[in-house]
Amino acid sequence: MKKLLTICLFLVLAQSYAQDIFKETLYSADLVMTNRESINLTDLQAERIKNIHSQNASDFRTLKWELDGANAKLKSILSAEKVDQSVANRQMDLVLSLENQLKKKQLNTMIAIKNELTESQKAELNILKYTPTSFTNFSEAIPGSSSDSDKGSKNIMSVVSSGNNQPIYIIKQGLKEKKVSNIDVNAVGPNMVNSITVLKGNSAWEMYGEEGKNGVVILELKKEANYKFE
């Protein structure tokens, strides 16, 4: 009984770890299509990605239903006052098989989507997937937004680490600047921002080294903007 529970726990942890790997290196159809304008996705790319997603969605949904049912049955077996170990083991084998099929289906779908993207699109998505939704919506509302890595690179002081898998956020106004963990739209309104610059890849590494590995987002405020840098 203890061995079976240990296997169940391992299965949950393994699934979580696999999802982390997928998130770090691959891109879901939802992420790509939500940001299609930001990454300049072509109509042909969009059509191919939608086809990849639709071709696998039905099979994925069916496998998920089967896995949910198999897990529910395993839970029922393990909840019995006296557990039949052979029956429990057979059910666990079914759960593991369905889980494996499900993860492979997800993996192959996301690999196919990634292979449709250009290097520059993947670089943009590497930043966007770790950018809070509120900031993504905020930046889209600013006409002066820019992803030109050659801008905003002067008079930038060094900053401390922003944490794992997060871009560095810098608010600038002339020579003044401040690093923040996220963009507070109550403190920085769209009418205060002159431009947004995204540094990525080599440009981010050259300016910030290890700290900039996940990208740097710089908000340049207007001269008349009233913002507290303290």
**In angstroms, rounded to a whole number, what is the distance separating the alpha carbons of residues 140 and 226?**
22
The DSSP symbol for 151 reads: S
Domain locations along the chain:
2-122, 132-221
Q: What is the four-CA torsion angle of 115, 121, 127, 132, rounded to 10 degrees?
A: -100
Q: Residue 88 is inside which H or E element, if any?
A: helix 85-114
Looking at residue 48, its pLDDT comes to 94
Looking at residue 186, its pLDDT comes to 64
**In angstroms, rounded to a whole number, what is the distance separating the alpha carbons of residues 129 and 3?**
38
The answer, as to whether pTM is greater than 0.85, is no
Looking at residue 25, its pLDDT comes to 80
Q: Which residues contact 9 (CB under 8 A, 6 or more apart)?
A: none
Looking at residue 147, its pLDDT comes to 44
Looking at residue 130, its pLDDT comes to 56
Q: How far is CA 163 from CA 27, 159, 185, in A?
A: 21, 12, 21
Return the beta strands (E) in the chain as ranges.
168-173, 176-180, 193-199, 216-221
Low-confidence ranges of the chain (pLDDT < 50): 1-19, 132-163
Tally of CB atoms within 10 A around 17: 10
Instruction: Label residue 75 exposed, middle or buried (CB < 10 Å: 0-12, 13-18, 19+).
Output: exposed
CB-side exposure of 211: number of CA atoms within 13 Å? 16
Cross-strand bridge partners of residue 176 = 173
